[in-house]
Amino acid sequence: MSIQRHDVPSPGIERTFIAVRAALPSANVAAFDAQLEAITHAPVIDLAALDDFLTSWWRIATRAAHDEADWRRMHAEAEQLESGRRQVGRTMAEILARRGREVTS
């Protein structure tokens, strides 16, 4: 198993609508725009939902900017799983059971 180092500085993307949208991979911009429009065109704008929206897209932009190749690879693998071209791997419970261990909660 490998882990990703977290002591590497993350890309400094300002947490504003303009900066986040500009930092997104082009494949995500349409979804960003559609969600923002849905929130801002409601009869009453929910400021908590707007803040949650910005926070979640800022995290996406930061992660994608940190390692764009990894971001594209993750989405390619997800698309393969969703389309059925790639089989889902074993669950953690199955792996542990095969090793004679049991998952407890």
- Band the pLDDT of 14: cuts 50, 70, 90: very high
Query: Which residue type occupies 27?
Result: A
Residue of 52, 71, 51 lying closest to 61 (CA atoms): 71
Angle at alpha carbon of residue 42, lines to 40 and 45, rounded to 5°: 60
Euclidean distance between CA atoms 32 and 57, whole angstroms: 7
Residues 13 and 65: beta-carbon distance below 8 Å:
yes
Euclidean distance between CA atoms 38 and 2, whole angstroms: 39
Q: 0.85 exceeded by the pTM?
A: no
Read off the pLDDT of residues 39-69 as tens digits, 9 standing for 90 and up: 999 999 999 999 999 999 999 999 999 988 8
Euclidean distance between CA atoms 55 and 15, whole angstroms: 8
Output the pLDDT for position 54. 97
